[in-house]
Amino acid sequence: MYHFLIALGLIMTSTFAAPTGGPSGCGKQPPSGVSPGGASSNRTLTSGDQKRSYLIHLPQNYDSNKPTPLILSFHGRTQTAKQQEDGSQFSNPSFNPDGIAVYPQGVDKQWQGDPDAPKSIDDFKFVSDLLDRLNSEYCIDPKRIYATGMSNGGGFTGLLACDPTVSAKIAAFSTVSGAFYLGVLGAPSNALPDCKPARTPIPLLHFHGYVDTQIKYLGGGNGSNRGNTTSIPDYLDRWAKIDGIQPDQNPEDLCDGKVKRHSWGNGILQHYNETLLNHEWPTKSNKVCYDGAQVIMEFFGKHTL
Ligand SMILES: *[C@@H]1O[C@H](CO)[C@@H](O)[C@H](O)[C@H]1NC(C)=O
Ligand SMILES: *[C@@H]1O[C@H](CO)[C@@H](O)[C@H](O)[C@H]1NC(C)=O
Ligand SMILES: *[C@@H]1O[C@H](CO)[C@@H](O)[C@H](O)[C@H]1NC(C)=O
Ligand SMILES: *[C@@H]1O[C@H](CO)[C@@H](O)[C@H](O)[C@H]1NC(C)=O
């Protein structure tokens, strides 16, 4: 009997205990108004004296006793969290049946890394504060937290991958049409900001339209005089160097040759060169043969901290 009780105790501890090492919302009901499978909720928190907001979507099968993956999806400049939810599709159960999707809102609809982002805003701290808040309210698996974003949100996702504090908490990254500006955050005018990831290699899945007129594949400006971005091949070479990895093979043709997929280090770094896409999120209904959300979720599923 005694042994049986100990065994029962161990089973209960391993099934129901909160993961150790930080605040945990495991075992707690979600805040009122946030319901599994329902429409996303708009929530706020204060970070660095600023009131910030984000949309959160819980999967239908959310169980507050089961550690759950988390996907952060960052909008582009001039866009909203709601537009990012609709465009990126991580609240759609056909792409993301099991993960929590969160769409943070940038102050003045932009993120650090854009030349016009105000210096008074600390979006890196916002992401840290947001992760602490989410961990305290929901049962999040600390080994399966992911970040993705579009345009300025993709550029910011790339900066998170380079951040020594935030990158330690995120298992994999994906950037779509990312805007990687030179000369921002204190970097010299012809250089990207420093990149000091907490570990290497960093899993990164990168998409860019070859005919992007806003953030050009080959870098430079787009005529609007808002600053220059790095060329995509330079950006990827830089990551391969940081990661210490080599190309896997010659690029692979996808979608009848409309997309060229490059891969380094057994796929830890991947690049989709979408030859027909402009500044757009890839979907099957738009010139490519895959849905970005699906490819991103498959990539994230291969990486845990
Ligand atoms: C969420 O709430 C914040 C602050 O109350 C507001 O600024 C933002 O526009 C709202 N977002 C959505 C998608 O309703
Ligand atoms: C250049 O890019 C900015 C976004 O960074 C956009 O607002 C502007 O419309 C673009 N200009 C052209 C000519 O595409
Ligand atoms: C962008 O690059 C061009 C060419 O190197 C340079 O003349 C221009 O000053 C740069 N623009 C900015 C905003 O740094
Ligand atoms: C990207 O695709 C374009 C158009 O097919 C091609 O000219 C270019 O060489 C490709 N670059 C890379 C790095 O795949």
DSSP 175-226: EES---BSS-TT--TTSPPP---SSSSPPEEEEEETT-SSS-TT-B--SS-S
Tokens of 233: 């091949």
33-300 CATH fold: Rossmann fold (3.40.50)
The domain segmentation of the chain, as residue ranges, is 33-300
Q: Is the dihedral of CA 190, 196, 200, 204 positive or negative?
A: negative
Q: Which ligand has its closest atom nearest to the C-alpha of 83?
A: 1
With residue 269 as reference, give the H or E element that holds it. strand 269-274
- pLDDT per residue as tens digits for the range 33-88: 999 999 999 999 999 999 999 999 999 999 999 999 999 999 999 999 999 999 99
Q: Which ligand has its closest atom nearest to the C-alpha of 53?
A: 1
Q: Is the CB of 223 under 6 A from ligand 2?
A: yes
Spatial separation of the C-alpha atoms in residues 10 and 16, rounded to whole Å = 10
Answer whether 272's CB lies under 8 Å from 239's CB.
Answer: no
As for ligand 1, residues whose beta carbon falls within 6 Å of it are 42, 44, 53, 55, 80-82, 105
- pLDDT per residue as tens digits for the range 198-252: 999 999 999 999 999 999 999 999 988 899 999 999 999 999 999 999 999 999 9
